[in-house]
C-alpha cells in the first residue's frame, strides 16, 4: 500500500500548521512582560495608577473679616461740674462763679459765699455782705482744706462750684506714716484734728486750729502784712519741749506747753483759740484750745516723737 500523501492530505496539514502558529502568537501577546518604569530626573517615577483613596473633605477657605462698621467708642469727654447743677442753683450763682472773692470783698457775691459757708457749718457768726480778714477769710480756708481744694482764702471757680454743688467733706484718712510703731502725733489739717497715736492706734483726738490768714508785724518793719501763714506739711521730730517759751511777737504766756517739732511751729495751748475759736488762726503753729489737752500732749510726748502734718487732696 502506497504511503505517499495525497494532495488533499498535504493541504490539510499545511492548514493545521498555519493555525498552530497563529495560536502561538495569540498566547504570547496576552503574557507580554511589563515595561520597566522609566527613570526620571528625580528618580523612579511609578507609571502605575495609584489606588484611589477615600476623598478627604477640604476646609472651606475663610473669607477675610470685613472692616467693622461700628464706630470706636469715643473717649469720655470731661463734664463741666457747672452743667450738673440745677437751673435754680445756676441762677443763684450766675455772675459770681467767674469772680474772685476773698478778704475785704463785699457785695452780692461775698454775701453768697458767707451764706453757703454758714450752710456748710464753717461760718457760725452773723451773716454779712463783707468778708473780713479774720473769720471770713479763715472760714474760706478751712472749707477749702476740708474739700481738698487749694487753701488760698480766696473763692475762685473750683471753690464756687464746690459751694454750689454742696460737695461733701473728704472722709478722714490718715497716712500710713501715722500707723508706725511707738508714739506718733498726726495732724489732719483737712479736719482740724490732732490724733495722738501709739502703735498704730488713736489714743486721743484733739480739736486744733492751724495756720491761716493772719497779720504779722516782723522785726524792723513799721508795717506788717496780711497773708496766709500756713502750717507746713511733712514729717518731723519733736526736738524740744518748753512750758512757757517766749514769743517774738506776743511775748511771754502766748504759747504755754509747747511741744516743738518744726522751727517756729509748735503744738501748744492757745488762749486766743480758747477765746474766739476759728474766728482767727495761728501763724503756723498747731493751736490747742483746751489747756487740759495741751498739758496731756506735753507730758506724754517724748522728745524724738514723730510728727506728721498733712492736708488731704480731692
| Per-residue pLDDT tens digits for 57-75 | 455 555 666 666 777 777 7
Here the cell at position 279 is 474766728
- Tell me the average pLDDT across 168-189: 98
Model confidence at 156: pLDDT above 60:
yes
Residues in the chain: 314
The pLDDT, as a whole number, for residue 70 is 74
Angle, alpha carbons 210-213-217 (nearest 5°): 105
Question: pLDDT tens across 246-300, in order?
Answer: 887 778 889 999 999 998 899 999 999 999 999 999 999 999 999 999 999 999 9
Q: What is the largest CA-CA distance in the chain?
A: 186
CATH 1.10.101.10 boundaries in the chain? 81-165
- Kindly write down the DSSP assignment for every residue of 198-240, as one continuous string: ETTEEEEEEEEE-B-EEEE--TT-SS-EEEE-PPPPEEEE--E
The pLDDT, as a whole number, for residue 64 is 63
Neighbours of 90 (CB within 10 A): 13
User: For all residues of the chain together, what is the average pLDDT?
Assistant: 84
Whole-number Cα distances in Å, 265 to 161, 181, 228, 232, 237: 33, 24, 14, 8, 12
The pLDDT, as a whole number, for residue 63 is 62
The pLDDT, as a whole number, for residue 65 is 65
CATH 2.40.440.10 boundaries in the chain? 176-310
Q: Which residue has the higher pLDDT, 27 or 240?
A: 240
From 3.40.710.10, 3.30.530.20, 2.40.440.10, 3.30.70.1400, which CATH number describes the 176-310 domain? Answer: 2.40.440.10
The pLDDT, as a whole number, for residue 248 is 79
pLDDT class for 22, splitting at 50, 70, 90? Answer: very low
The pLDDT, as a whole number, for residue 42 is 32
Report the predicted TM-score, pTM, of the whole model to 2 decimal places: 0.74
- The domain made up of 81-165 has a fold known as Muramoyl-pentapeptide Carboxypeptidase; domain 1 (1.10.101)
Lowest mean pLDDT across 105-119, 182-196, 219-233, 285-299? 219-233
Amino acid at each position: 500500500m502506497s504511503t505517499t500523501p495525497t494532495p488533499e492530505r498535504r493541504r490539510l496539514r499545511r492548514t493545521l500548521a498555519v493555525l498552530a502558529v497563529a495560536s502561538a502568537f495569540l498566547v504570547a501577546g496576552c503574557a507580554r512582560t511589563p515595561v520597566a518604569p522609566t527613570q526620571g530626573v528625580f528618580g523612579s517615577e511609578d507609571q502605575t495608577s495609584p489606588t484611589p483613596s477615600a476623598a478627604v473633605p477640604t476646609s472651606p477657605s475663610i473669607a477675610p473679616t470685613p472692616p467693622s462698621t461700628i464706630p470706636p467708642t469715643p473717649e469720655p469727654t470731661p463734664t463741666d461740674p457747672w452743667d450738673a447743677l440745677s437751673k435754680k442753683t445756676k441762677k443763684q450763682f450766675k455772675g459770681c462763679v467767674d469772680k474772685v472773692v476773698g478778704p475785704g470783698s463785699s457785695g452780692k457775691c461775698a454775701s453768697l459765699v458767707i451764706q453757703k459757708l454758714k450752710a456748710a457749718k464753717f461760718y457760725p457768726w452773723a451773716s454779712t455782705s463783707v468778708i473780713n480778714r479774720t473769720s471770713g477769710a479763715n472760714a474760706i480756708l478751712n472749707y477749702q482744706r476740708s474739700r481738698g481744694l487749694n487753701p488760698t482764702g480766696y473763692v475762685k471757680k473750683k471753690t464756687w462750684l464746690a459751694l454750689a454743688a454742696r460737695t461733701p467733706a473728704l472722709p478722714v484718712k490718715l497716712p500710713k506714716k501715722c500707723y508706725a510703731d511707738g508714739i506718733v502725733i498726726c495732724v489732719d489739717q483737712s479736719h482740724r484734728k490732732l490724733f495722738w497715736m501709739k502703735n498704730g492706734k488713736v489714743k486721743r483726738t484733739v480739736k486744733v486750729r492751724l495756720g491761716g490768714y493772719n497779720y504779722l508785724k516782723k522785726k524792723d518793719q513799721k508795717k506788717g502784712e496780711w497773708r496766709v501763714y500756713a502750717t507746713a506739711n511733712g514729717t518731723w521730730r519733736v526736738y524740744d519741749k518748753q512750758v512757757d517759751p517766749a514769743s517774738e511777737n506776743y511775748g511771754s504766756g502766748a504759747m504755754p506747753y509747747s511741744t516743738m517739732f518744726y522751727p517756729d511751729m509748735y503744738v501748744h495751748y492757745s488762749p486766743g483759740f480758747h477765746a474766739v475759736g476759728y474766728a482767727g488762726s495761728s501763724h503756723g503753729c498747731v493751736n490747742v484750745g483746751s489747756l487740759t489737752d495741751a498739758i496731756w500732749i506735753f507730758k506724754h510726748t517724748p522728745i524724738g516723737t514723730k510728727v506728721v502734718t498733712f492736708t488731704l487732696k480731692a
